Amino acid sequence: MAKKDNINVPLNYSSYLIMLCLRHQSHGYEIMKYVEEATNGLITIGPATMYRTISDLEKNDYIYLASEVGTRKEYALTDKGWELVQEQANFMEMLHNIAKNNAETVDDTTSVANENKNIEEKKDVEMKNFNKKLFNVNLKVSNQESEPDFSKLDDLGQWVLVTTGNKGRTYYYQFKTPLDADTLKEEISERLNIDPDDLSTGVWSNLYRSRELWSGDPKTPWIDEQ
């Protein structure tokens, strides 16, 4: 009997946070850093948990090995993984609405006991709101099917590799710029109307790579549809 995909079953924190990071091609260190920053240090994932989870996600075809250079492996979401991400976001939105409706029915003006109870319920609601923000992350990139208008970057005028992508499709663009990495990221985000968190570039300090990565016209983007 074929195994049924339990795609509607909510993921645990580790799996989902890793998948959120892998909306953009990333390697192990980037994943751990993303999780810590996305949760303001509330949640950290160690190497053992991360690689065990990556192995499970890859076996279930939610992610794939997108790049391997030496010991450095980068992973990204498959179409099936993107679907699961969206379903989890919808699930967390549902929980948020349930928590909100329950909170509105609480009477916090009765006894001291009820007041204490309300405080605990308020904390619970705040945690659910945190979950909602954490899981229902901005997924605009997943709906962005058109190629970014790279002409808006022409005047930025060091060779840099920049990627923006969705659902396994990645758009690459190379151009010359004297700007530092942080300023460059802000400029690209604003000009292409892409949220900085949705601009996939890996670690910005690694952007300054050799022009030999690609011998084509530096003002012509190309598409990698792995």
pLDDT (tens digit, 9 = 90+) per residue, 174-198?
555 556 666 766 776 777 676 666 5
Q: How far apart are CA 146 and CA 153, in angstroms?
A: 17
CATH (one of 3.90.1300.10, 3.40.50.880, 3.40.50.620, 1.10.10.10) for 1-137: 1.10.10.10
pTM of the model: 0.45
- Nearest-CA neighbor of 22 among 52, 55, 54? 54
Residue ranges of the domains in the chain? 1-137, 143-225
pLDDT single digits (tens) 7-61: 444 567 778 888 888 888 888 888 888 888 777 777 788 888 888 889 999 999 9
Q: How far apart are CA 123 and CA 133, in angstroms?
A: 15
